[in-house]
Amino acid sequence: MNIVNEMNLNFKSRSSNESFARATVSAFVLCLDPTIAELSDIKTAVSEAVTNCIVHAYPDTIGTIYINVKITDSNKIIIKIRDTGIGIKNIKQAMEPLFTTSSDERAGLGFAVMQSFMDNIKVRSKENKGTTVTMEKTLYRTSYDKR
């Protein structure tokens, strides 16, 4: 597996950046000629992970969100979304559908969406250090235009 393309993006945890982040990642992966459904899945998963950083990782502060996207020669997209916020105590519990620690109108479905819209997801977290969510999706058709 070779990485044929890669990009990094850092931005402040302002809610207005949610649309910026998902649009930017989706623009980057356009070179793989994804289907509309695949692109919609990726946008939604990125929106979930970025929103979690804004809402949960940095609840009362503005922090930085780091996104790294890699594309492999086998049409796999690897998206890493990282924060240096409060971290997750119990990852297994956090990933259960409908679980939320928020008192707002949250459905507790963010991780369930990431899990079902991407091929797989890995979550690493340390309390008061931060959280990294890594998601992968292999696109169905095409081969990467390496130019």
Partner 1 sequence: MVETKFSDNVLTAKLYGEIDHHKAPAIRQKIDGQTENLRPKELHLDFSGVSFMDSSGIGLIMGRYRQVSLIGGKLKVINVPKNLQKIISLSGIDSLGVLK
Ligand X SMILES: Nc1ncnc2c1ncn2[C@@H]1O[C@H](COP(=O)(O)OP(=O)(O)OP(=O)(O)O)[C@@H](O)[C@H]1O
Q: Among all residues, which ones are annotated catalytic?
A: 48, 52, 106
Contacts of 76 (CB under 8 A, 6+ apart): 1, 136, 137, 138, 139
Query: Of 75, 83, 121, 139, which lies in the binding site for ligand X, with binding defined by CB under 6 A?
Result: 83
In the bound complex, which residue of the shown chain has the CB atom lying closest to Mg ion? 110
Tell me which residue has tokens 């402040």: 12
Binding mask 53-92 for partner 1 (x = CB under 8 A): -xx-------------------------------------
Binding mask 20-59 for ligand X (x = CB under 6 A): ----------------------------x---xx-xxx--
- Should residue 112 be labelled a site residue for partner 1 when binding is judged by CB under 8 A? yes
- Should residue 16 be labelled a site residue for partner 1 when binding is judged by CB under 8 A? yes
One-letter identity of residue 140: Y
Contacts of 93 (CB under 8 A, 6+ apart): 99
In angstroms, what is the minimal distance from the CB of 44 to partner 1? Answer: 5
Cα separation, 15 vs 4, in Å, equals 31
Cα separation, 94 vs 112, in Å, equals 10
Task: Find residue 134's DSSP bridge partners.
Answer: 80, 122
Please give the size of the binding site for ligand X, defined by CB under 6 A: 23
- Should residue 40 be labelled a site residue for partner 1 when binding is judged by CB under 8 A? yes
Query: Of 3, 27, 37, 96, which lies in the binding site for partner 1, with binding defined by CB under 8 A?
Result: 37
Cα separation, 99 vs 94, in Å, equals 6
- Should residue 48 be labelled a site residue for partner 1 when binding is judged by CB under 8 A? yes
